[in-house]
Chain A
Amino acid sequence: MRIAIASQGVEKTSAVDPRFGRASYFLVFDTSDESLEVVENNQNVNAAQGAGIQAAENIAKKNVDIVVASNYGPKAFRALEVAGIKAAIWADGTVSEAIELAINNKLKICDKANVEGHWM
């Protein structure tokens, strides 16, 4: 299983970033070899909208199965759904805690968007 965690830093001890679309990084943990990869959440700086779509694309490229963050907008949620990535809601601690919870199946999976999109 490949787990992406929205993160405020690049370490396992970094805090989980609650914002999915505008998270600073995604740390991708692979349970098969316990590797951790840092994925920058590069965003198109000019775009007022669609950060969540681009974030979903950034992690879809890394073939992840599940992502951990706490705020998902409607378009981000749709994008994750299309990509077949589960959206888990949790941002109460560190990246390593999030990995632990994900492996043990203790995270709440989101079945619809939980924040409104932003309009211009």
Chain B
Amino acid sequence: MKIAIASGKGGTGKTTIATNMAVAIAREGRDVTYIDCDVEEPNGHIFLKPKIREQYDATVLVPHVDLNKCTLCGDCSAACEFNAIAVLGKTVEVFPSICHSCGGCSDVCPENAIVDIPRTIGHISHGDGMGVQFYEGRLNVGEAISPPVTKALRRLDTDSEVLIIDAPPGTSCPVIEAISGTDYVILVTEPTPFGLNDLKLAVGMVQEIGLPHGVVINRSDIGDGKTEEFCHRQNLDILMTIPFERRVAEAYSRGEMMSDVNSEYERRFWELYCSIAEKVSS
């Protein structure tokens, strides 16, 4: 069972919900893996406090030009859709930070002067915390292209019964990379006009990919009912509503589990999981 947690924007409590659900499932004795795919700003570790046991590099292939073979013909540059390789005077320069590793340049080089070499753009950490298997991808500072790290995370071989995938915020490529191939997507939102707008974008995205989905409304009591109205009109399942509670908010701002201050949440997150499991299997 692979469940992705996504949100049209940051700051909706997506990671809080993902980690709390993972822990609730683990406390029921299930084998659960949490994967933090928000590689530009992973913060699941704040809640799960994992002990990291292994770490490896996430790499991409970038072209390297052998100037002894190169005739400066410019075919590589003409083939590159991303302007990431250019013939400049007597040399060919590669701009790794905007290279998309498509291999187009080495395919067209008539002299076979281009070889692809790995370049590290981030790393992946693996460990466990609070009974949950933990993986996190982290993009190195200054890197602009995150999907390869997300891809590496999603290719991980985990044999856990339940996989909780914490997607990056937004609706762009890295999000699609994170959620594709999952069984169900939980869209976390807040009932504000901005929240609703982002929710609409997120719903459009999952519908386009064609993944089953439902909504969790966080801070559900601050709104004016427009979000619920939208969900009803669109036939979207509201899986859970979480009212604002000061002591809970304070707990998670300290990186604590919601169920540590309000034990009801352990049951509520377990039920959230069960209701999704039921939808997926039916």
Contacts and interface: CB of A to CB of B under 8 A. Distances in A.
Interface string B92-128: 0101011000000000000000000000000000000
A54 B89 contact: no
Interface of B: 74, 77, 80-84, 86-89, 91, 93, 95, 97-98, 144
B81 A47 contact: yes
Interface residues of A, number: 21
A49 B87 contact: no
Interface string A51-63: 1011011001100
B83 A83 contact: no
Contacts of B144: 119-120
A64 B271 CA distance: 69
A85 B80 CA distance: 23
Nearest to B84: A50
A75 interface: yes
B89 A50 contact: no
A82 B91 contact: yes
Given A44-B81, A47-B82, A79-B86, A53 B91 contact: no
Contacts of A46: 81
A60 B81 CA distance: 19
Contacts of B95: 50, 53, 75, 78-79
Contacts of B88: 56-57, 60, 79, 82-83
Contact of B86 (A57, A84, A85): A57
23 contacts: A44-B81, A44-B83, A46-B81, A49-B82, A49-B98, A50-B82, A51-B83, A53-B86, A53-B95, A54-B77, A54-B83, A56-B86, A57-B77, A57-B86, A57-B88, A60-B87, A75-B98, A79-B93, A79-B95, A82-B91, A82-B93, A83-B88, A83-B89
B83 to A, nearest CB: 3
